Amino acid sequence: MDNQFLKVAKQAALEAGKIIKKYSGKDQHKNVKHEDPTDYATEADLEAEKIIVKILTSSFPDHNLISEEEAKIDKKSKFTWVVDPLDGSISFGSGIPYFSVSIGLLGEGKPILGVIYNVSFNNLYWAQKGQGSFLSEGKASSAYLNGKAIQVSKKKGLTASVGVLDFGHNLKRQHKLNLYVNKLITKIGYIYSFGSAVASLSMVAEGILDLHVNYAYPWDFVAGTVIVREAGGMVTDFEGKEPDWTKERVNIVASNGLIHEQILEALRG
CATH number of the domain encompassing residue 115: 3.30.540.10
Same domain, 83 and 10: yes
Within 8 A by CB and 6+ apart from 207, the residues are 150, 151, 152, 153, 154, 231, 256
Output the pLDDT for position 34: 47
The number of domains in the chain is: 2
Q: Record the pTM.
A: 0.94
Output the pLDDT for position 30: 53
Which residues of the chain register pLDDT less than 70? 1-2, 26-41, 139-145
Listed residues 123, 149, 175: the one ending a domain: 149
- What domain range includes position 177? 158-268
Q: Listing from the earlier edge strand, what are the strands of the sheet with 162-165?
A: 190-192, 162-165, 211-216, 250-255, 234-236
Output the pLDDT for position 137: 85
Distance between CA atoms of residues 231 and 235, nearest Å: 11
Instruction: Residue 224: name the closest of 63, 113, 85 by CA.
Output: 113
Same domain, 183 and 213: yes
Within 8 A by CB and 6+ apart from 40, the residues are 31, 33, 34, 89, 90, 93
Distance between CA atoms of residues 54 and 179, nearest Å: 37
Q: In Å, how far are 68, 85, 120, 228 from 137, measured between CA atoms? A: 26, 20, 11, 17
Distance between CA atoms of residues 64 and 222, nearest Å: 14
Cβ(151)–Cβ(232) below 8 Å? yes
* Cβ atoms within 10 Å of 145's Cβ, excluding its own: 10
Same domain, 129 and 220: no
Instruction: Residue 236: name the closest of 213, 217, 262 by CA.
Output: 213
Query: Please, what's the b/e burial string for 72-82 (b: 16 or more CB within 10 A of its CB; e: otherwise)?
Result: ebeeebebbbb
